[in-house]
Amino acid sequence: MEDFPQRKLLSALSHGAIFFSSTIVSIGIPIAILLISNDPVVKDNARESLNFHINLYIYALIFGLLTLVGIGIVLLIALWAISIIMPIIAIVKILSDRDVLYRYPFIFRLV
């Protein structure tokens, strides 16, 4: 039997991990949830969250290098706003429907 409150909590926690820290902790929480949970919806949400966090790091590295050209600052500010807004949207969607897999737009799915 599936535990639906636990499904919501773990899925929301994996998407909200970016608010705890912008370091390795934000990647460590979805990895831990991915390894611990047996629920396929929770695993899919943790995998999607992990992909989003990895993409943010890749984009931040690229945009950081573009600061040498001059346009990187604007892109880093936009990336910062996206890193706050998109997880909030994901958490709201997950808490409203326990069976939903939130898919972030415009990311590469590496995991």
- The answer to whether 49 and 62 have CB atoms below 8 angstroms apart is no
pLDDT at 32: 94
Tokens of 77: 């500010």
pLDDT over threshold 50, residue 1: no
Averaged pLDDT, 29-40: 93
pLDDT over threshold 60, residue 49: yes
Phi (first) and psi of residue 70, to 5 degrees: 120, -20
pLDDT at 2: 63
Mean pLDDT is lowest, of 17-26, 46-55, 86-95, for: 17-26
